Amino acid sequence: MMKRKETNMSTIYPFTALVGQNQMKLALLLNAVDPRVGGVLIQGDKGTAKSTAVRGLAKVLPMHRDGTPMKVVDLPLHCTEDRLVGTLDIERILQEGKQKFSPGILFEAHENILYVDEVNLLEDYLVDTLLDVAAMGVNRVEREGISHSHPSRFILVGTMNPEEGAIRPQLLDRFGLSVTVKAETDVALRMEVLRRRLAFEDTPQAFIESYRKDDEALRNTIESARKALPTIGVDANLLELIANISITLGVEGHRSDITLLNSSRALAALQGEPHVTMDHLKQLTPLVVSHRMKRKPFEQREFDETMLDNLWATYEGIQK
């Protein structure tokens, strides 16, 4: 039997080589086009390409303005608050009158991807801090009446296995999008996963090279979508529809409205369309509202597309 070659840990499986999991890939790409979408929570069993997709995404994102590549910054499960936000050397400040700040993970994550695996097992106060910074785009550290702040804008990706513990509804609402991934049940797709994985492990560089053009094409699409984003229009009747979707489903607050608006504009930009359409809203509504719907204790209420059939029909009539 031939001995399989070891895969270098720095070798990243190409994003465009991923088989299936289209909702997950779409959610990641929408955040790549517009981080205001608010990040994505990916729920699913182990071995469903969650981590692979996140790391592959970084390789297809356009470079920073200084020519450095985007990177994935990992937030460890047992991270301390100081490691997350950074620390101020109070003693040195008092003695020398100079501010000494030691940056944390949120500094490193600026304009990169911040990846939190098993986010449901992370301490609640850390998740609160993380999501507050993600919403504001600024990390502010205060100690003994002394403060320091720095920009911290990033694409937030959290992953979790629901069987290992739930996440508080208040925190769920703070993630822009949520997708659930499952192992493929189609035999042909599972076989294709095996073929590609085998090829990647045997000859990783050759495999990566075979998807280089696809990755470059996707990078160009993302870059074009970012440039087009400010020009994407939304008709007044679709703004009304967005508001009615949340009301019909009993979703509290306005985050769902804002996220659906931002994500639908990002999708239109990705597809090279000048305006948001009802099809964009239909496609993205499950990703935006499924984790925000009201649930009674122990209730397993899930989004059902038939809940909005009457609403779609009403607005389709208006558009004709």
Supply the residues annotated as catalytic. 255
Rounded CA separation 76/274 (Å): 41
Burial 233-265 (b: 16+ CB within 10 A, else e): ebeeebeebbeebbeebebeeebbbbbbbbbbb
Which tokens is 211 given? 């998807």
Could you tell me how far CA 276 lies from the centroid of its own chain? Answer: 21
Rounded CA separation 291/242 (Å): 17
Neighbours of 103 (CB within 10 A): 16
Which residues contact residue 262 at a Cβ distance below 8 angstroms, ignoring those fewer than 6 apart?
34, 36, 37, 38, 176
Rg (CA), the chain: 21
Segments in the chain forming alpha helices (H): 22-33, 50-60, 81-85, 90-96, 105-108, 124-136, 169-172, 187-202, 204-210, 212-228, 236-249, 255-270, 278-289, 309-319
Residue type, 70: M
| Of 282, 303, 277, 260, residue with least CA distance to 38 | 260
Length of the chain: 320
